[in-house]
Structure 1
Amino acid sequence: MSDTEPAGRQSVRRALVVGASRGLGLGLTRELLSQGWEVTATVRRPSPDLASHGGLRVESGLDIDDDAAVAALHATLADQPRFDLIFVVAGVATQAGTPAGQLDRAILASVYQTNAVSPIRFAERFHNRIADGGLLALMTSKLGSVSLNRGGGWGSYRASKAALNTLARSFYGQHPKASWGLVLMHPGWVRTDMGGKRATLDVETSVRGMVAVLDARLGQRGCVFLDHEGETVPW
């Protein structure tokens, strides 16, 4: 079967998960594999929780902030069939509890680069690796919603995700003939290293919901901001 056929018609669906060594990235990889997807998972360094087997291929040494590493990954995967789903999970929340006006400028710049700029640069490099009818998903957050920001807090993280959302909409607008869709995905408040122990969702519930939402979006174009239950998040 040709890798140019619409995603919904392929017998085996293929995903690229960027940032899969732990937390939501690891959970997404496991959930996709459990549903019969073939998954290529990237990690910065080898992870004991991920080992290449059957439907899983692991690519180590990928730092999303490293343009040369991203280009090398693109070259490595050039002879592979295109992906039905590319999901960029990687992100940071460095000193998120400190007001932005009190943070060191270097930390602010680093958070912005990793959370906003690097996912878009990755998307620009890899969008030609998405199968017709496939999806590009970028992990964002409800905290990036400007209209929902009434109480403040986590200012630098909020701003970086709001920037990602804006850059993503611009990116999609710059590709009006794209045969794929773009989903900005809010995973919910999840019990991970970033979300903390007080979070309301476990990883399994969040990733199960996200995979279901993305599966239902295959074949649809447009740029949308959704949560793990498929609800639209206000910009």
Structure 2
Amino acid sequence: MENKQTVLIVGASRGLGLALVEEYCKRGFDVIATVRQQTAALQGLQKQYPDSLEVHEQVDIVNLDSVRILHDRLKGRKLDVLFVNAGISRANELTPLQVEEQDYIDMMLTNALSPMRVVELFHENVLTNGVIALMSSELGSITNASAFWELYSSSKAALNMLAKSFAARHSNDSRAMLLIAPGWVRTDMGTQDAILDVSESIPLVVDVVTQHAGRPGLRYVDRFGKTIAW
């Protein structure tokens, strides 16, 4: 019998992360999901997929100690996919002059620095033909900047830069690394003004990740696998 593939999804309690958990469970993966605290929706998925969904609570991506503890718990576990999803948006309509400094600091820590710390820690857990995926955004493109949600956009641009630097430091790595933009999706973070339902985004996102297994190098792509300008 063929061994099941394993995915670690960091930031899985709701929204896009929860949808990723469900999609990978449907596809027969062993799923390791992290949350700060358990949610009813995730508990429901655990009941539906008791043999394939493993949840680790009290993992806060901005708390490096909690991420290190998770790394110790999963020592030696091999991953086909590492998917770092955690992110926040604040002060969406504000300018740099208007934003509260702490709101901006929180976005940069959650959306840029902390995801890359996860990658630094778990990189070696990913199989050499596996995929490291980070949930980015079309708004992270400097080329296509439009001043929409500009502060959030800058945090995603920072994530992209840190990922590009990581890839440069690991230029001979055989793993694929994806900065993937799911589109503007209706979630608590994306707001109800968004144009896509999670069902119109996440299955395509998972398709793109799957298609890149065994394809070394960093790519910045949308949910269709199309390259986005840096």
Compute the TM-score of the two structures, normalised by the length of structure 1: 0.92
Aligned to 1:213: 208
Aligned to 1:194: 189
1:2-17 aligned within 5 A: 11-17=3-9
Letter paired with 1:94: R
Q: Could you give the per-residue CA deviations for residues 7-64 of structure 1, whole angstroms, max 9, x where no partner exists?
A: xxx6311100000000100001100110111100000101111234211000000100
Displacement of 1:99:
1.2
Aligned to 2:199: 204
CA distance in 2, matches of 1:208, 1:30: 10
CA distance in 2, matches of 1:199, 1:155: 16
1:168 aligns with 2:163: yes
User: Taking every aligned residue pair, what percent have the same amino acid on both sides?
Assistant: 39
Aligned to 1:4: none
Aligned to 1:154: 149
1:223 aligns with 2:218: yes
Query: What SS does the corresponding residue of 2:8 show, helix, strand or coil?
Result: strand
Q: Could you give the per-residue CA deviations for residues 60-113 of structure 1, whole angstroms, max 9, x where no partner exists?
A: 001001110000000001143x11100000001012221122112222111111
Q: Aligned pairs, how many?
A: 225
Query: What SS does the corresponding residue of 2:123 show, helix, strand or coil?
Result: helix
Displacement of 1:172:
1.1
Query: What SS does the corresponding residue of 1:102 show, helix, strand or coil?
Result: coil
Aligned to 1:32: 24
Aligned to 1:50: 42
Aligned to 1:122: 118
RMSD over aligned CA atoms reads 1.3
Aligned to 1:142: 138
Displacement of 1:155:
1.5
8 Å contact from structure 1 (residues 184, 226) kept in 2: yes
Aligned to 2:60: 63
CA distance in 2, matches of 1:173, 1:110: 26
Aligned to 2:70: 73
Displacement of 1:153:
2.7
CA distance in 1, matches of 2:97, 2:131: 36
Query: What SS does the corresponding residue of 1:113 show, helix, strand or coil?
Result: helix
CA distance in 2, matches of 1:11, 1:24: 27
Aligned to 1:5: none
CA distance in 2, matches of 1:95, 1:152: 13
Uncovered stretches (5+) of structure 2, i.e. residues with no partner: none
1:91 aligns with 2:83: no
8 Å contact from structure 1 (residues 99, 153) kept in 2: no
Query: What SS does the corresponding residue of 2:110 show, helix, strand or coil?
Result: helix
Aligned to 2:180: 185
Query: What SS does the corresponding residue of 1:193 show, helix, strand or coil?
Result: coil
My pick for the range that moved more, 203-212 or 93-102, is 93-102
Compute the TM-score of the two structures, normalised by the length of structure 2: 0.94
Displacement of 1:184:
0.1
My pick for the range that moved more, 172-181 or 20-29, is 172-181
